[in-house]
DNA sequence: GCCAACGTTGGC
DNA sequence: GCCAACGTTGGC
């Protein structure tokens, strides 16, 4: 089992939206970055744990916990000309982008980005790396443990 | 709104 | 395959 951090803009889809979604989960779609796509396609599996992160908002930070509840499958928005995620170069035969479904575990206190930066134990987090923009990053088991048992208790 | 950092595109 | 131009991300 792996651990991940996934960014979402709360105005688009927040931890509260995830909490209200059906138990079977919500499709995580619209990511148009190859590295993030490859993570979903090749490394994410049912049962993986997720730090749900709010980005591009007044208080960026970790807002809750979730889990992956599907394997990767084609992101249907890539085929929809009306979607802002439409990709003219994607076909049903050769899809370019994938989704995974994610299910709510719990809401936590908002753990701000600035607080994450204060801890030496988290200095290696990809999220905190200079210039990082990836919307999905992996989280080490030690980092996961530190965050969930020390900072979110 | 600014701007640093990064990814993608496309001409050559 | 290089690289300049452009677009996007996202914290501040």
pLDDT tens readout for residues A16-32:
999 999 999 999 999 99
Instruction: Please give the average per-residue pLDDT across A2-10, as a whole number.
Output: 97
**Nucleotides of strand C within 7 Å of the protein's CB atoms:** 8-12
Instruction: Please give the average per-residue pLDDT across A6-14, as a whole number.
Output: 96
- What's the CA gap between A54 and A116, in Å, rounded? 13
Pick out the nucleotide with least CA–C1' distance to A134.
C9
Which protein residue lies nearest to nucleotide C9, measured between its Cα and the C1' atom? Answer: A133
pLDDT at A82 over 90: no
Contact, A131 CB vs strand B, < 7 Å: yes
pLDDT at A8 over 90: yes
- Facing residues of A28 across strands? A100
The Å distance, CA of A112 to C1' of C12, is 14
Half-sphere exposure of A66 (CA within 13 A, CB side): 36
């Amino acid at each position: 089992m792996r651990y991940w951090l996934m960014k979402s803009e709360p105005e688009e889809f927040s931890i509260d939206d995830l909490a209200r979604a059906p138990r079977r989960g919500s499709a995580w779609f619209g990511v148009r970055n190859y590295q993030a796509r490859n993570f979903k396609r090749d490394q994410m599996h049912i049962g993986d744990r997720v730090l749900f992160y709010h980005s591009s908002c007044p208080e960026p930070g970790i807002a809750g916990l979730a889990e992956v509840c599907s394997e990767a499958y084609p992101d249907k928005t890539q085929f929809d000309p009306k979607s802002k995620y439409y990709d003219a170069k994607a076909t049903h035969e050769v899809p370019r982008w994938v989704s995974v479904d994610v299910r709510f575990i719990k809401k936590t206190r908002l753990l701000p980005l600035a607080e994450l930066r204060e801890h030496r134990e988290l200095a290696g987090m990809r999220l905190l790396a200079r210039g990082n923009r990836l919307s999905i990053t992996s989280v080490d088991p030690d980092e996961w443990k530190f965050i969930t048992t020390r900072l979110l208790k």
